[in-house]
Amino acid sequence: MGSLLSIWPLLELSKAFLEKRIDLLHRALAAWTLLVAIGLILEYSPDILELCWKAKIKKRGLLWVSVYAFAGPILVTVGVGGELVVEARFGEAEGRLREIEGVISGQLRLTAARANERASANERAAESERLERRRLEARVSPRGLTLNQQRKIAEVCKKFSGHRALVSSYGLDGEGAMLAGQILEILRLGLRRNNVRNAISSRLVTGRFESGIHLRGQPPLVTGRFPESEREFASALQHALSTVGKLDAYAYDSPPRRAHGAVDNNTGGESFPSGTVFLSVFVGLKPTPVLTIK
């Protein structure tokens, strides 16, 4: 843009000069053409007069007729020569004008391309900033399910009506408790209400915490795997929470490892009688990005 601004006055001045010159050459060409027309009239005037007044001209022998006949070709020759000179200069001026207009057009296209590049770069930067802001908001905002997501997950749970589930979370984890409360109501809507127990904010641990949502069959088999009766239910619920709710949910995982001396206590909340088969839905801490070394 700076280069265009520096040469723009010179280009405009040259363009205006050439346009004015072309206009003058147009007028000069018209004058030379008029001279050719007058010469032709004078050259052929004797013949025209003889056709009209043949006898009278021969009788009087008019001198001016002979002068006209001689001057006409001279004017035609001079006029045609003038036209050739003007047309040559006219073509030269038009060529220079096209060159200047080409330079101006090229500079304008270059300036427009650079402006588009800057605009595209600004748009990309703005889009990148929006995405980064969304990622930051996703990191700091609490997890949650929209009403539409809750309805869809509840529809999945209705296929397993009659199954039992216990929803729990860490004590003092308000974010996890809110999400666990939503999942509790979803399960109550999909299963029978009395088959869902509330143990939210009832678990106090030290040493190690879990993040995400963990689905475990209770009581576990000797191998630590799910009871077969809860396997399909856990798989369907994990898939719904992951795909519909966009949450980190895991199924068929073994109980978490405890560090030496770690404490894991349940401080209350509802539960099922001993020996009851049910699905444990534990809402852990909100997952955060962690740099891993490969």
Cis peptide before 289 (omega within 30 of 0): no
Per residue in 10-50, pLDDT (tens digit) is 777 777 777 787 788 778 778 878 877 777 777 666 666 55
The residue that leads in pLDDT, 113 or 239, is 239
What is the average pLDDT score of the chain?
A: 80
Contacts of 21 (CB under 8 A, 6+ apart): 93
pLDDT at 235: 93
Of the two residues 117 and 103, the one the predictor is more confident about is: 117
Residue, of 247 and 111, whose pLDDT is higher: 247
pLDDT of residue 1: 47
pTM of the full structure? 0.56
The percentage of residues in the chain with a pLDDT greater than 70, rounded to a whole number, is: 78
pLDDT score for 259: 56
What are the sequence ranges of the domains in the chain?
Answer: 2-139, 147-283
Q: Does 285 have pLDDT greater than 70?
A: yes
Q: What is the mean pLDDT of residues 205-221?
A: 85
